[in-house]
Structures are given as structure tokens and as C-alpha cells.
Amino acid sequence: MIESKSRNTLLIKQEALRLGFSFVGISKAEFLEEEAPRMEAWLKNNMHGQMSYMERNYDKRLDPRLLVDGAKSVVSLMLNYYPEQHQTDDESPRISRYAYGRDYHLVIKEKLTKLVDFIRQSIGEVNGRIFTDSAPVLERAWAVKSGLGWMGKNTNVIHPKAGSYFFLAELISDLELEYDAPIRDHCGTCTRCIDACPTDAIIKPYVVDGSKCISYFTIELRDAIPDEMKGKFENHAFGCDICQEVCPWNRFSLPTKVADFKPTDMLFGLKQRDWLDMTQEVFDKAFEQSPINRTGLKSMQRNVNFLISGFNSKS
């Protein structure tokens, strides 16, 4: 039994890396006792804003056995998206680096499907489900539990040798495997992410008020962006990377090898006026398989107009 657990664990990890995942760790599928009170307090204080989906399936978020019958293991995976090129034109509204290329949901799902197929061919029929930011799974908690990194003060998972520019994904299954141990926190006394956040969304170490985050305002919020936020977005029109940009651990970030995540020339060339003059037809064609498609053209134009109003209020 021990030999089969060890063999199966090795097979899964080797195949995950062969498929292009950057890192893989495994933890026991069980109730997240430490996360429960944090999650409850976060929701009670309305730090999720209009993200009402965070309130749904509360029990399932804390216990993977409610998502997969007989679940024994959570395989956590990281996929690097750090781009080789970055936006440098101040006239171009900034897009979060994770959205430069093809939608990560599509890319990761393809890899996870191949991983499951491999497991069933090499190990046998298993009951399992794959996830990537698309179901009630506390991905960061599982990544930490699986030893892939520690939870930074900006609540991103930080790998000690590669930083935090990673997508997270999971395979929850009824296969019993060998489990990895968490690693210790290396943030120390550093507060760069807290100090750099222009909207004060990181209200204290390890607690982010989602309803104050630039990513929330530019992606999740469907109403008008509050006037008190004018001039605070630092030219970000979709998402935000500020807390990652200032993190010292991201000096270890290396460019992704995933071709799907590389930016298009069009994205880098779009100025404010280009976004405002864009037609729905052009948007649908250009961003059909982009994370930006989730926000939609009207919200993107709202965001760009908000940036312009912020610049005007400063002048």
C-alpha cells in the first residue's frame, strides 16, 4: 500500500511537470479549520463587496469532501504566467499581467484534463474533479497546505524560488497519496505591498479588503466606481499588479514558457482613445479568448473614462 502511494504520487507529479505546470504539491483532503474563522470574518465585514458568489457554497469552500465523494487528496498546481514583455507606454491603460494572453481557465483546463486522463490510464479509475478559479475552492489555502509557498501579506502565494506570478489549480480525488508539508512564512518585517497599495486594500498583514482593491473595481464591480477612488488607480484599467511588483520575492520571477500567455501586439498598442472608440465587434474578435472578455467592452470603457477623470482631477 505504501509503495503504491509513493509510486502514484511520483507518477502524478512527474506528469504534471511534463504537461508544463511549474510546481505541484499534495495535501490531505480535510476540513480547513484555520481558514474557517478567517473566511467567516472576511464575509461578515463585507470585504467581498458585490462578489456575492463568495457567500455561496460556504461549507464546500472549507471541505473538499463535499465537492468530491470520498475525497482523500488535493493535488495543487502552479502555472507561471510572468511575461517577458511589459507595458511601458504611459498612454496605454494598464492591463494586469495575468490577462496579457489567452484565458488561463482554458489553458489550465486543457492541461488538467490531460493529467486526469493520464492518471486513469496509468493508475486506474479514480473519482476526481479539476478546478481552476471556477468553483468554491480556497485555492490559496490548499497551495499553502501543499507546500507550494507561503501566504504573503498581500494574500498571494509566494514560492521561495519563483515569486508569486502564478495561476493556481487543483485536482481533488479519492486517490490516497503522499502529502507534502507547508513551508514557513518568509515575509518577515517587510511591508512593501501594504505601503504600495494606492487604495489601502491591504488593511493589515494577510487581510485584503476585496471591496477596496483595484482589481475589484475594474473587473468585479458592475456599478459606477466611487468618486473617492479617482486618481488612485495609477493607470490600471483591468486588474492590478502593484503589490506583486514591489514584492522582493518577485526578483526571482522568470518569463513563462507558455506561449498562450504571451501578449499580442494589439494589446500593448491600445491607447485611451482606442478603448473608447472600440466597437463591440472589434472587442469580441480581439478578446474572444481573453480574461478581459469577462469584464466586457462597456466596463472597460467605464474604467478608461474613470482613469481620464482621475488624471483631470489631479491637474
Write out pLDDT tens, residues 213-257: 999 999 999 999 999 999 999 999 999 999 999 999 999 999 999
Question: Which listed residue (59, 117, 133, 227) is catalytic?
Answer: 133
For the chain, what is the mean pLDDT? Answer: 94
133 catalytic residue (yes or no): yes
Give whichever of 43-57, 122-136, 166-180 has the largest mean pLDDT. Answer: 166-180
The pTM of the whole model exceeds 0.85: yes
> For 162-171, what is each residue's pLDDT tens digit?
999 999 999 9
Model pLDDT, residue 315: 52
> For 286-313, what is each residue's pLDDT tens digit?
999 999 999 999 999 999 999 999 766 6
DSSP state of 208: E
Model pLDDT, residue 314: 61
Model pLDDT, residue 266: 86
Is the distance from CB of 73 to CB of 127 less than 8 angstroms?
Answer: no
Is the distance from CB of 82 to CB of 261 less than 8 angstroms?
Answer: no
Residue 174 has pLDDT above 90, yes or no: yes
Phi-psi region of 296 (alpha: psi -120 to 50; beta: other; left: phi over 0): left
Span 82-109, mean pLDDT?
Answer: 94
Position 55 confidence tier, pLDDT thresholds 50, 70, 90: confident
Instruction: Give start and end residues of each alpha helix (H) in the chain.
Output: 2-18, 35-44, 58-62, 104-122, 139-145, 192-196, 214-215, 242-245, 265-269, 272-277, 280-286, 292-295, 297-314
Between CA 173 and CA 64 the distance in angstroms is 9
Residue 184 has pLDDT above 70, yes or no: yes
Model pLDDT, residue 17: 98
Position 52 confidence tier, pLDDT thresholds 50, 70, 90: confident
